[in-house]
Structure 1
Amino acid sequence: MNLPEPTIIEELSPERIYQEIKDIYASYNPDFKEIADLETTPEAKTFQAFSYREFHLRQRINDVFKSYLIEYAEGVTLHHLGAFYGLSPTTGESDERFKKRLKLAIAGRSAAGPKERYKALCLDADVRVRDVNVWSSALDPTVNIAVLSSDPGGIASQDLLDTVATYIDHPERRVTSDEFKVSSAVKKVVNVTLSVQLEEFARNSAGEELEANLRAAWDAEDLLGLDLTRAWLIRNAMGNGINNVKVEQPFADVVAEPNEAIGLGTINVIISGRGR
């Protein structure tokens, strides 16, 4: 969900704050109006200092406010937010993973569960669980759970699958009528070839940096059951010195099954020139 940056107090430019201070001062000191536009007077220097101090103070207030929202929280503040919902980070768990687990736990408490609840429980079960997909069909009410491991390759070991299955099947956690099938996710590797045009004055390294940027952006996604679309590749390749992208490979969108996680194989970047 793309939301605007949250603020608790309006952020004003130093110039606007400076002008407002001058206007207030001039309203009480009519003689000041004659020299109000001079920037070398003692009053101007004082007003400039106060305007920049207020500018940074407003930014700081908004930064502190944001730090108490889950999306922006980190460290101890995030742990306190988790404690409010009865959760705490596990050993070795990153802030981003704990944040993901916390959001799922909150969503799983609503009537929209238990899909989000079971995803949250699977992440609770073991820090090695990187991602989870939960689904069932009308013909078979069994709750299917695919586990993507944080281990290299993403394949969940039998030990990890057993840990997850035991944890979610506990009488205090499961819905009485649910039956589970816990299995490892399947990794599907897709090679990518992009033809890109650099901006007129872009660094020569812009094309070389694209591969690392694409891999980082894809790894940040919830990969299980996520299709790799040509539109995603174009959207995430644009910018940072690149102004046009043509996807040479894959030739069509790659569809992922619910238990599949697509991995990026080789990424071949072809520089087709420069332009505006």
Structure 2
Amino acid sequence: MSGGFTAVDLSRLPAPDVVEAIEFETIFDAMLADLRERDPSFDVTVESDPAYKVLQVAAYREMLLRQRINEAAKGVMLAYAIGADLDQLGALYGVERQTLSEGNPNAIPPVEPTFETDADFRRRIQLSLEGFSTAGPEGAYVFHALSADGAVLDASATSPSPGEVVVTVLSRNDNGNAPASLLDVVDATLSAEDVRPLTDHVTVQSAEIIEYAIDATLYFYAGPDREVVMRQAQEQAATYAEQQHRLGLDVTLSGLYAALHQPGVQSVELAEPAASIVVDRTQATYCTAIDLTDGGLDE
């Protein structure tokens, strides 16, 4: 394996200049000023005036048009494109969105097919450029592993010694442990002559899964319905756990506190995990349970 991971972190890119901030009042005020400049005799200042109504309609329509232009501009940018726009960008790079489940149109009710998320698809599109290389860069191994089967959620490539490459696979199913059948599919993909350099010996393995549970007591300010806040904290904790369910992503106490400390929560006592869970690029965390206790008001 040669080179390094060169993919740009799209989330760190500055907002593009072509996408402008749009405010109705700004557009309306500019139109009103333009009208007064063209017709100095226009001095009506009440919103009920017909001219005001016409300008409001025109400003609103211009705002919609500018927003559509913003959306069209974003639709051709990898960092912002979603849905069908992202599919078109993928086609430009020769990458198709993966089908995770075919669904069942004959079922009652019909079961719709499940496709790769925009975030996962965007990552593969970005990695596809490295996939063209046969020199064995890390990004190429990761791209081909992710593209081998829709059941691959994440992959990493490490080189413990010269000529030795270890590709680690995290499965979408269950806790992420990759079955032998999936590892065989990935291994076959990486063994193709146009993928693996002759000098590399590739080993494909499953990720080591580090399981943990979230156990916390939440104390509240007086005010909002505590059940609603508890539900929000539960959802945010689940979202954080899912986001960190990737190779090499730690589960930190600060991240858990941030997820649990929703508006209305005064303090959080976190019983589990007792410390941040640090993993390497061959490991992934998996949350087995989230148990939140209502500790009542903390006054």
User: Under a length normalisation based on structure 1, what TM-score does the superposition of the two structures give?
Assistant: 0.87
Give the superposition deviation at 1:242.
3.8
Deviates further, 79-88 or 242-251: 242-251
2:174 aligns with one of 144, 152, 160: 152
| Structure 2 letter corresponding to 1:78 | L
Deviates further, 47-56 or 240-249: 240-249
| Structure 2 letter corresponding to 1:29 | D
Alpha-carbon distance in 2 for matches of 1:208, 1:85: 41
Deviates further, 85-94 or 125-134: 85-94
Alpha-carbon distance in 2 for matches of 1:68, 1:171: 33
Is 1:188–2:196 an aligned residue pair? no
> Match of 1:188, SS?
strand
Deviates further, 140-149 or 190-199: 190-199
Alpha-carbon distance in 2 for matches of 1:31, 1:121: 69
- Could you tell me the percent identity over the aligned residues? 28
Q: 1:54-110 CA distances to partner (integer Å, 9 max, x unpaired)?
A: 122222211222122223323332222112212222333424332221122235568
Give the superposition deviation at 1:220.
3.0
Structure 1 unaligned regions, length at least 5: none
> Match of 1:226, SS?
coil
Alpha-carbon distance in 1 for matches of 2:290, 2:259: 13
2:84 aligns with one of 76, 79, 96: 76
> Match of 1:31, SS?
coil
| Structure 2 letter corresponding to 1:18 | F
User: Under a length normalisation based on structure 2, what TM-score does the superposition of the two structures give?
Assistant: 0.81
Q: 1:158-211 CA distances to partner (integer Å, 9 max, x unpaired)?
A: 111111111111111112211111111122211222233445433322213322
Q: Which position in structure 2 is the counterpart of 1:164? A: 186
Structure 2 unaligned regions, length at least 5: 1-10, 101-114
2:157 aligns with one of 118, 128, 134: 134
Q: Which position in structure 1 is the counterpart of 2:75? A: 67
Q: Does structure 2 retain, via aligned residues, the 8 Å contact 1:7–1:62? A: no
Alpha-carbon distance in 2 for matches of 1:192, 1:219: 13
Q: Which position in structure 1 is the counterpart of 2:125? A: 102
Alpha-carbon distance in 2 for matches of 1:18, 1:242: 41
Q: Does structure 1 retain, via aligned residues, the 8 Å contact 2:244–2:250? A: no
Residues 115 and 5 (structure 1 numbering): CA distance in 2 closer, same or farther, change over 3 Å?
Answer: same
Q: Which position in structure 2 is the counterpart of 1:266? A: 289
Q: How does 1:83-122 map to 2 (within 5 A)?
A: 83-92=91-100, 93-96=115-118, 97-106=120-129, 114-122=137-145
| Structure 2 letter corresponding to 1:27 | E
RMSD: 2.7
Alpha-carbon distance in 2 for matches of 1:52, 1:199: 41
Q: Does structure 2 retain, via aligned residues, the 8 Å contact 1:197–1:243? A: yes
Alpha-carbon distance in 2 for matches of 1:222, 1:153: 9
Give the superposition deviation at 1:245.
3.5
Matched residue pairs, number?
A: 273
Residues 240 and 5 (structure 1 numbering): CA distance in 2 closer, same or farther, change over 3 Å?
Answer: farther
Q: Does structure 1 retain, via aligned residues, the 8 Å contact 2:131–2:144? A: no
Residues 213 and 113 (structure 1 numbering): CA distance in 2 closer, same or farther, change over 3 Å?
Answer: farther
